[in-house]
Amino acid sequence: MKASARNQFTGIVNNVFIGAVNAEVHLSLKGGETIVATITKESVDNLGITPGLDVIALVKAPQIIVVTNFAGYKLSARNQLQGTVTQVKPGGVNSEVDIELKAGEKITATVTNDSVESLGLRKGQTATAVFKAGAVILAVAAK
């Protein structure tokens, strides 16, 4: 599949919690991390989302927040994937920051150059990629 979303994670559906309008879908990645997606109940039905199904989770790079120190705070964002910064590629206004997860998967964030400087982002640094469940788009193989 080709898509403009740079972050594409292959996962297996663990749980599906159906609400009146939306559903919460929990996916396991190969490194043991979990991604939570909030999609409509209708999308769950249309895509045939059930436990055990292979899916691809898509997240656009600008939706990723990079955290280097939680300072005792907790966040409401369900997806918090810790890894190691492998690259910081500066641009004119923004930089791309690549974070490698446990199993070698990469997540890319687009952040301002000011944020790179204030967080002191550099290769080898531990960082957490944070994104809301609503920022996740799920895809399944066409039948």
Q: Are residues 37 and 69 in the same domain?
A: no
Q: Are residues 23 and 37 in the same domain?
A: yes
Residue 142 confidence (pLDDT) above 90: no
| Residue 1 forms part of a structural domain | no
Q: Are residues 36 and 47 in the same domain?
A: yes
Q: Are residues 124 and 65 in the same domain?
A: yes
What confidence tens digit (pLDDT) does each residue in 39-88 have?
999 999 999 999 999 999 999 999 999 999 999 999 999 999 999 999 99
For position 3, what pLDDT does the model report?
Answer: 86
- Give the domain range for residue 82: 61-131
Q: Are residues 78 and 45 in the same domain?
A: no
Strand runs (DSSP E) across 43-104, as ranges?
54-59, 65-67, 79-90, 94-100
Around 55, how many Cα atoms within 13 Å sit in the side-chain half-sphere? 28
Residue 143 confidence (pLDDT) above 80: no
The CATH number linked to 28 is 2.40.50.100
Q: Are residues 92 and 54 in the same domain?
A: no
Dihedral of alpha carbons 3, 6, 9, 13, sign: negative
| Residue 2 forms part of a structural domain | no
Q: Are residues 83 and 121 in the same domain?
A: yes
Opening angle at CA 132, ends 42 and 93, nearest 5: 125
For position 1, what pLDDT does the model report?
Answer: 77
Average of per-residue pLDDT across 10-27? 96
Total count of domains within the chain: 2
Q: Are residues 35 and 78 in the same domain?
A: no
What confidence tens digit (pLDDT) does each residue in 83-119 have?
999 999 999 999 999 999 988 999 999 999 999 999 9
